[in-house]
Structure 1
Amino acid sequence: MRYQTGFLNHFASEAVTGALPEGRNSPQKPAFGLYAEQFSTSAFTTPRVENRRSWLYRMRPTTEHGRFEPYSGNPRLAAPDGSHTTPNRLRWDPLPLADGGVDFVDGLVTFGGNGSPSEGGIGIHLYVASETMDARAFQNSDGEMLIVPQQGTLRVVTELGRMDVPPGHIALVPRGMRFRVELVDGPARGYVCENFGAPFRLPDLGPIGANGLANPRDFEAPVAWFENRDEEFEIIQKFSGSLWRTTINRSPFDVVAWHGNSAPCRYDLARFNTIGTVSFDHPDPSIFTVLTSPSDTPGTANCDFVIFPPRWMVGEDTFRPPWFHRNVMSEFMGLVTGAYDAKEGGGFAPGGASLHNQFNGHGPDVESTRKATEAQLAPTKITDTLAFMFESRSVIHTTEFAMRGGLLQSDYDDCWRGFPKARLP
C-alpha cells in the first residue's frame, strides 16, 4: 500500500493514468466520463494558508441517493446531556472485545464530550469491532475523527484511498469524508476523538525552533484507489448528533483521481521526536503535543492530542513523573500499551481510560510517588509504554454508559490515599 508524505500538502494522485485534468480543476468533460466534485472542509473564503479542499474525479457523483432515515443500530453513540457529569476523578476498565458481528460503526461507544458540532468542542468514544465493514460506509458530518487503535490493525478505506493503521499509529479522517473500516488481524479495540472545532494541525514550535515533535514529512496520505462495485451499499451518517442511514446502488469509494489538501492521513507515533530537559525540572506535558485544534483564545486549545511515548529521563534533582497539579484544561487519558509512569500501582490498563476534569487535583499515585522520591537518579529510559491524552479547554461531560455501564472503577480515589504527612521542623 503506497502513501504520499507531508502534512497538509497539496497532493495529486490518479489510479488510472490520464484521469487527472491538466490545468483545470473542473473541465467541461473530465476524462473517461468521470465527474468532478469538490470536497471542502473549510469555507470557500478562508485564507489560503488555512483553506482545505480537494477535487475528486469519481465514477458517479455523491448526489445520487435516497432520503436519509434515522438509524437506531447503535444507541451507545450519543452525546452526553450533562446530567451525569461530576467533578470526581474517573477511571474505567477496558471495553470487552466484541462478540459476534459488530463492526466499527456499531462498536463505537461514547464516553464523554463537550460543545457541539455548531459551536466547537469534542466527542470522546471508544470502539470495539469483530467484523469488517463491507457494503457499508460511515460519514461523520459533525467532526473530523482521530482514531487511536489499541488492539488490532485497521484498514481505513476512504474515498481518497486506503490506509493500514496498526496500534502505535493514528489515523485522521476529515469531517464529512466517507470511509469504512476493515479488520486486518482479528478483533480490534481503540479510541476516537471527534473534533467539532478547528481542524487538527501541527502545533507551533516557538523557541524549540525548526525541528522536533511531529514532522510534517512523517504524515502519510493515501494514493488514489477506487472500487468498481455496482451493488447496494448502506451509508451511515452522523449529523447534528444523531445517526442516519440511506442506501446507494454502488460503492461510494469510486474516486479514480484526486488533488488537494483535504485528505485523510496516518502517522506512526514512534516517529514523534520527544523533547525533554537535560538539566532539571521536566517540561510541561504540552511538550508532547502531536496535533492541536486551536480555539478563539490564543494558546488555549479546543483539543490537544498529547502522547507519552518511550523516552529518556535525565533531569538532575528532579521529580520525574508528572507532578501533582490542578489544570484549567480537562484531561481524558488512554493507554495503548505498557504502563503509565504516574500510575505504576495498577488499575490503568491498556484499553482503559481516565478522566480528570478541570481544576480537580490529580497526579502520581502513592507507590509511584514513593519510588520517584527515593530513586537513585541516573539516566533512565522509559520503555514499553504509550499513553495519550485528549485535552480540552472545557469540561468533558460523561454519558450514562460511562457512569453506569459497568466499567467505571469505584475505587480510583484509593490510589491517592495514604500519603504521609510532611514532617516540619
Structure 2
Amino acid sequence: MLTGFQNHQSTEAVSGALPIGQNSPQNVSFGLYAEQLSGTAFTAPRHENLRSWLYRLRPTAAHAQYVPYAGAQALRSGPFTETPPNPNRLRWDAPRQFAGDFLDSLTTYAGSGSPDAQHGIAVHMFSADRNMDRRAFMNADGEMLIVPQDGALRIRTEFGIIDAAPLHIVVIPRGVRFSVDLPDGRARGYVCENYGATFRLPDLGPIGANGLANPRDFEAPEAAYEDTDEPYELIQKYCGALWATEVRHSPFDVVAWHGNLAPYRYDLTRFNTIGTVSFDHPDPSIFTVLTSPSGTPGTANCDFVIFPPRWMVAENTFRPPWFHRNIMSEFMGLITGDYDAKSGGFAPGGASLHNCMSSHGPDAASYKKAVEADLQPVKIEDTMAFMFESRYAFRPAGWAMETDLLQSDYDGCWNGFEKADVPG
C-alpha cells in the first residue's frame, strides 16, 4: 500500500516494531537492527535534511566484496566523453526491442556533469521483458526518476512496494535498494539519473499557496518486508561503474521505518495546471513538477516539466510553444498522445534533445495550423509530454549517435517556412 508522503512518515509491518521516542534504543523490538539512511550531510539545514531510520532483520553491512559487473552494457555515466559536444537538434524514434530486465535494458541517450562531483544528470531508456528475479540494484551516484511509458512496473524497495503505470512517476533516492517486476510482461520508459541536489517541489512565488504539484499527492510505500534466506545478487552503481555482490537473504527486510527520505510515487494526472486567461504564452516553467536546484538560484541542475491536458484560452496569441533559444538544455519525451508543437515524427516512447541555444519550435505544419486557427477556447486532450531541463549541456552517448532510431531528417521539419512579406 501507499500512503501520503509530505514531511515525515512512520510505518510498521508488524505492530510494535517501530521504536517510540528514540531512534536507536539499546534493544530494538524483536531483535531488529536500527540503520539510518542519510540523503544529505548530517549538518545540512533542518529544512533540507533528509534521513530515515530503518528497522530490519539483518544489517545491510553483511555482504561479500563487490566485483565488477558486466551487464547493462548500454548504460553510460558522467563524465560523458564518448562523443564531442554537439549543437545539432536531435530526435529519436521509440525503441523497438524489449530485452533484459530493468537494469540490463537501461540504455543511455545523453548526460552532463559527473557523479563524482555530484552535479548534472544522465537520461536513459529501459525496454525490459523480464523481472529482476532475486536481483536488486542500488545507485550510489544519484537518485532515479522513473517515467513509465508502456507497461506497468512493480517496484520492490527497502521501504515497501510501489506499483506504477504510465502517467505515474517514481523517484528512488540515492542508495536505496530496489528491484523491478513487470506485471504486463514487458515495459518501456524513461529514467533521469540525478547526480545533483535531490528533487523537490519548486517554490510557487506569486502563484501563492496552491497549484502545480501538491504535496498531499505524493505517496510513499508502507513497510512490507520479505523474510527469505535465498541468495540475492546486489548490483551497485558507484562513480560511474557497476559492481556486484551476493547477499544471502532478501535485501527487502525492513519491518518498520520512519523519516522524510523514502521512494515515492506521483500521479501526473493530479498536476494542477496553471495558465493564462488573457493573452500571450507563459514560459514552460509553469509546468514544473519537481526541481533539483543548483548553486545558482532559479537555474536548475534539473527541472522535471510536463505538458499535460489543459485548456487553451489566450486571445490573439500563438498558442503552441513558440520559436526560442534557451540557456537551458532540453531533453523531451512523450508518454502518450501527440505533442502540440510537432504534427508528426515525435511519437510516444520517442525523445528529442535541444541543447543550449539551439533554435527550435513548432514545425511548419503546426505553425500554419496555429496562425490560421479560429481562437476559441479549446482543450488539449489525450497527451502527456515531459522535459528534463538542465543548466548543463547534454552530451549524447555513443549509442545515441549511431543507432538507426536517430532521425537523420529531423532538421527538415523546419523546412517550408515562407519568407515574411515586409513592405518597403
Answer yes or no: is 1:244 the counterpart of 2:243. yes
Aligned to 1:256: 255
Aligned to 2:129: 130
Q: Secondary structure at the match of 1:262?
A: coil
Partner deviation per Cα, 1:287-334 (whole Å, 9 max, x = no partner): 000000000001100000000000000000000000000000000000
Aligned to 2:98: 98
User: Which moves more between the two structures, 74-83 or 37-46?
Assistant: 74-83
Aligned to 1:70: 68
Q: CA 1:269–1:311 in structure 2 vs 1: closer, same or farther (change >3 Å)?
A: same
TM-score, structure 1 as length reference? 0.98
Partner deviation per Cα, 1:184-228 (whole Å, 9 max, x = no partner): 122100000000110000000000000000000000000000001
Aligned to 2:20: 22
Q: Secondary structure at the match of 1:238?
A: strand
1:117, CA displacement in angstroms?
1.2
Aligned to 1:83: 83
- How many Å separate the matches in 2 of 1:4 and 1:73? 34
- How many Å separate the matches in 2 of 1:65 and 1:243? 16
- How many Å separate the matches in 2 of 1:229 and 1:353? 40
8 Å CA contact 1:84, 1:399 repeated in 2 = no
8 Å CA contact 2:364, 2:413 repeated in 1 = yes
Aligned to 1:362: 360
1:184-199 equivalence runs, <5 A:
184-199=183-198
Aligned to 1:234: 233
- How many Å separate the matches in 2 of 1:202 and 1:243? 30
1:83, CA displacement in angstroms?
2.3
Partner deviation per Cα, 1:16-65 (whole Å, 9 max, x = no partner): 00000111100101000100000001000001100000000000000001
8 Å CA contact 1:84, 1:400 repeated in 2 = no
- How many Å separate the matches in 1 of 2:84 and 2:387? 21
- How many Å separate the matches in 2 of 1:326 and 1:397? 18
1:118, CA displacement in angstroms?
2.8
- How many Å separate the matches in 1 of 2:335 and 2:85? 26
Q: Which ranges of structure 1 fall in alignment gaps of 5 or more residues?
A: none
- How many Å separate the matches in 1 of 2:364 and 2:224? 52
8 Å CA contact 1:157, 1:163 repeated in 2 = yes
Q: Secondary structure at the match of 1:145?
A: strand
Aligned to 2:4: 5
1:82, CA displacement in angstroms?
5.2
Aligned to 1:109: 107
Answer yes or no: is 1:374 the counterpart of 2:372. yes
Aligned to 2:335: 336
The amino acid that maps onto 1:23 is G
- How many Å separate the matches in 1 of 2:5 and 2:285? 23
Partner deviation per Cα, 1:131-167 (whole Å, 9 max, x = no partner): 0112010000000000000000101110000010100
1:6, CA displacement in angstroms?
3.1
Q: What RMSD, in angstroms, separates the aligned Cα atoms of the two structures? A: 0.8
Answer yes or no: is 1:311 the counterpart of 2:310. yes
Q: Hey, which bits of structure 1, 4+ residues long, moved more than 4 A?
A: none
8 Å CA contact 1:113, 1:397 repeated in 2 = yes
Aligned to 1:349: 347
Q: Secondary structure at the match of 1:49?
A: helix
Q: Secondary structure at the match of 2:265?
A: strand
The amino acid that maps onto 1:383 is E
Q: Secondary structure at the match of 2:48?
A: coil
Q: Secondary structure at the match of 2:413?
A: helix
Partner deviation per Cα, 1:103-148 (whole Å, 9 max, x = no partner): 0000100111000113211011011110011201000000000000
Partner deviation per Cα, 1:48-99 (whole Å, 9 max, x = no partner): 1000000000000000011111111111101231524310000001112314
Partner deviation per Cα, 1:209-248 (whole Å, 9 max, x = no partner): 0000000000000000000110110001110001110001
Q: Which ranges of structure 2 fall in alignment gaps of 5 or more residues?
A: none
The amino acid that maps onto 2:72 is N
1:3, CA displacement in angstroms?
1.5
- How many Å separate the matches in 2 of 1:191 and 1:84? 24
- How many Å separate the matches in 2 of 1:95 and 1:14? 40
The amino acid that maps onto 1:152 is G
8 Å CA contact 2:82, 2:398 repeated in 1 = no
- How many Å separate the matches in 1 of 2:272 and 2:116? 35
Aligned to 2:53: 55
- How many Å separate the matches in 2 of 1:97 and 1:260? 40
- How many Å separate the matches in 2 of 1:174 and 1:342? 33
Partner deviation per Cα, 1:371-424 (whole Å, 9 max, x = no partner): 000000000000010000000001101001100022100000000011000000
TM-score, structure 2 as length reference? 0.98
8 Å CA contact 1:89, 1:357 repeated in 2 = yes
Q: Secondary structure at the match of 2:331?
A: strand
- How many Å separate the matches in 2 of 1:230 and 1:139? 20
